[in-house]
Amino acid sequence: MNEKNRLGINSCFLNLDDPIKLFEIWMEKAKQTEPNDPNAVALATSSKNNVPSVRMVLLKDFNKDGFVFYTNLNSRKGNELKENPNASMCFHWKSLLRQVRITGTLSLVSDDVADEYYSSRAYESRIGAWASNQSQELKNRDELINSIKVYKNKYSDETKVPRPKHWSGWNLNPQSIEFWLDGENRIHERLLYTKSQNGLWNKALLSP
């Protein structure tokens, strides 16, 4: 039986005023059902000339202040975010027939936060952050492999690999969060949270 919440939509939307709490509940459910990377999210950015670009990244943290991922700051997305901090995220959990769309503005996390996360990464991943000039053209694959060897030699002590200054985290401060549930005959259920100027969240149902 398809139980409903107070708005007349599926009970999985609950009756919460806080979309971050609802996202947390949906993410925990996705961790139980998604076969790979429930934290994978499509990140859409745009250049200063309004040319869009989208790619998959991994969400590494979230709270009331936003949604955090990490990257090379000189990558395409990094450069675009320096020029245009407006961006959008879309989670798609096929096992649950659910999506979450988030729009907002991005800013860099603090050095302390970036350092803490970087130090938690595997040694090979920390070396990769040094060795890869992300998004830059390679002459051949050997160029990258040789660069990895150079940095492994430079930072042979696995406990002493400093974070590159060109590698950090971005935090998306949400202005809107939409929760989407697949429906029969494409009659989907959509719940939109929009942040007001006073920081409170307003809810609205959207037509499929």
What are the catalytic residues?
Answer: 186
> CB-based contacts of 124: which residues, under 8 Å, 6+ apart?
none
The answer to whether 88 touches 99, Cβ cutoff 8 Å, is no
Residue type, 195: K
Cα–Cα distance between 100 and 97 in angstroms, integer?
11
Cβ burial of 140 (10 Å; 0-12, 13-18, 19+) is: exposed
Residue type, 36: N
The answer to whether 123 touches 199, Cβ cutoff 8 Å, is no
User: What 3-state class would DSSP assign to 52?
Assistant: strand
Structure tokens at 97: 């027939």
